[in-house]
Amino acid sequence: MASFARATRRGKPQGPAVDADATIVEGTSEVEALLAQKYRRVWPAYTRATAAFRRLMHQEEPESVTIRITPRAGESVLPVPPSAPAEPSGSWTLRVSDAIRLFGVVIAGVWTGRPIHPLFGETARSFSGDDLVPHAKLVWQHGITIDAPPSKIWPWLIQMGCRRGGWYSYDGLDNGGLPSAERIVPVLQHVQADEIFPMSPTQHDTFVVRMVEPERALVLGDAAGGMSWAFVLEPLDQERTRLVSRVRATYDNPALALLFKVFWRPVHFAMQRKQLLNLKLLVETATTAPIAETPVERDRVTTSR
């Protein structure tokens, strides 16, 4: 049994819920054809890019599941109220404003190399998770100072992940168009090693939680062990913390090295910049808000263990 309702692309309900039956569909070719028809050029480009990345990273093709939702007898989907016009059919989840900002920060990343500078000496130091990829050929690091102690930042970090609390970056790119959480989600506050923080709506094996040091470090990685993504919290004083993000990776394919340097480096900078700035804003505006004691049920939140 399931229930659904009309909603905006950011997940805001636009009408009452309707009861329906949900069944798993064996074949997915028809669904993929409909997605290709709806998103036209975007969908084929997305599938080709993700397939190429998996081949370069030696990752297996993830299994996909299609669910058919059928309204129950006597139920009907109500029209969208006049005060809340429907989203245009076939609209892309990435807003134009987000696309313009993303383009701007990508250009800035190419031009300046590292616009979000770590504090002096951070790049030369070792951090938690460095030993997971000891002979890294690629190291990307960014940092930001947040006016809050580590205990206020940590809950936002451990609820990250697509289909969880989101990545706090460009939701149209890495969270299926759903907005990232704007508050602490109690059901996502218990994280252990080997859990999955999905990288995208279609990923089921990346990122893997490699290390959890409460209020100090959270380290993610890929299934093959070829990369690590650490989030390290270092107190500057009682009211300020330095959040450092460090990516380490190794590779054997020269084509993959070129892909990292030419394409993924500016894209990673753009996404990481947005993520760090949003985390700073969320933490600093919510430092006095208590964490809810009642578990919050969110339709898009699922955890994998």
Residue 82 included in any domain: no
62 with 143, same domain: the answer is no
Same domain, 188 and 146: yes
Q: 291 lies in a domain?
A: no
Please choose, from the candidates 198, 197, 161, the residue with its C-alpha nearest in 3D space to the C-alpha of residue 181: 161
Cis upstream peptide for 207 (omega within 30°):
yes
pLDDT at 69: 76
Same domain? 121 vs 177: yes
Check whether residue 145 and residue 201 sit in a common domain.
Answer: yes
Same domain, 132 and 198: yes
Tell me if 13 is assigned to some domain: yes
Q: For residue 227, count CB atoms less than 10 angstroms from its CB and return exposed for 0-12, middle for 13-18, buried for 19 or more.
A: buried
Q: Is residue 118 included in any domain, yes or no?
A: yes
Query: Tell me, what's the pLDDT at 90?
Result: 37
b/e 147-159 (16+ beta carbons within 10 angstroms → b) = ebbbebbbbbbbb
Q: Within this chain, do residues 158 and 240 fall inside the same structural domain, yes or no?
A: yes
- Judged by DSSP in three states, 163 sits in coil
184 and 115 in a common domain: yes
- The answer to whether position 89 is within a domain reads no
- At 8 the pLDDT is 61
**How confident is the prediction along the chain (305 residues), in pLDDT tens digits per residue?**
677 776 665 566 666 777 888 777 766 677 777 777 766 666 676 677 777 666 665 666 666 677 777 777 665 544 444 443 443 433 344 555 656 656 665 555 544 444 444 554 566 678 888 889 888 888 888 999 999 999 999 999 999 998 899 999 988 888 878 899 999 999 999 999 999 998 887 777 789 999 999 999 999 998 788 889 999 999 999 999 999 999 998 888 777 777 777 777 888 888 898 999 999 999 998 844 444 443 333 444 433 33
Whether residues 46 and 164 share a domain: the answer is no
Same domain? For 31 and 174 the reply is no
Here the CATH number for the domain that contains residue 166 is 3.30.530.20
248, 149: one domain: yes
Is residue 110 in a domain? yes
171-192 pLDDT per residue, tens:
888 887 889 999 999 999 999 9
120 and 215 share one domain: yes
Total number of domains constituting the chain: 2
> 62 lies in which domain range?
2-71
Domain shared by 55 and 195, yes or no = no
